[in-house]
Structure 1
Amino acid sequence: MSFEEFYAAHFQSLTIQLYAYTRDLAGAQDVVQEAFCRALARWQRLTDYDDPSAWVRRVAWNLATSRWRRTRTAALFARQQRPEHVAEPSPDRVALARALATLKPDHRRAVILHYLADLPIAEIARQENVSDNTVKSWLHRGRAALAAQLREEEQDRA
């Protein structure tokens, strides 16, 4: 039997078995596909086995179990890292984020890097591959646009 025939004869039944085990069709297809890829690399040896499909099935089940363990470990880690309480953003922070989004990309990057990341103008210029004066211009224009946008926001709230 060729590998192609073997694959066609067993892929669907193994996928159904793994789907019943994992309750995730895409995940089942992935692990069965991976098991068949590994079988293809060893096909000459597997043809000597009484039941090569048993080898593929065992590999697929092992892969599914390993995937489940990794997912469980990641979920446990995420639960442990979750902060107890995260305060909602203040109206000022929301207004600032909204105003920043209206800036031109270069101006926004310069403002964020300078005022939020505390980078000096020379470092921003080096990072952006522009002159110091260009960064100063971006900051000036960005601050002016932010001030206008935030004034407008405040007037809308009043």
Structure 2
Amino acid sequence: MKKEKILTEFEVYDGVEELPEAVQTLMQEAKRARLKAYAPYSNFLVGAAISLENGVIVTGNNQENASYPSGLCAERTAIYAAGANYPGVKIRSIALTAGPRNVKNTLPVPPCGACRQAVAEYEQKQNHPIEIYFMAQEGKVCKVSSLLHLLPLAFDRNFLK
């Protein structure tokens, strides 16, 4: 038996104002998208904004359903909209902001497991990493340079061969 260690790294910014200007804009779009989320059951609002290599920003937010598995997270709403409307255009980065309605939260909220898998698919599809910035409604912002820093043993198409 041999033990192996997986290391990951990420950057932490004290606030949105420390981010590069383009990422500040992307995060503001994610914040606007968050306010339009449909979350009557969990009251947990999530907004995502995706920057494409052609300069277009695509947004998404979580969409809940009384039949819980039928809802969709903000990240997947945005990434699938980007894939449907801009096929072949690479995703450069994703900004994500999340937290409960009417409750202040400052703990950065990373993508859930299903969203991590969706981003992993797009990184592999475009053969290029996607930067991910995530935060609560306010406060610190975390950045990973690739989804593989959040999901180091990602399942991908190579396992299907």
**TM-score above 0.5, yes or no:** no
Give the structure-1-normalised TM-score.
Answer: 0.21
The TM-score with structure 2 as length reference comes to: 0.20
Q: Which has the higher helix share?
A: 1
Q: Max radius of gyration: which structure?
A: 1
The structure, 1 or 2, with the larger RCO (C-alpha pairs under 8 Å, 6+ apart) is: 2
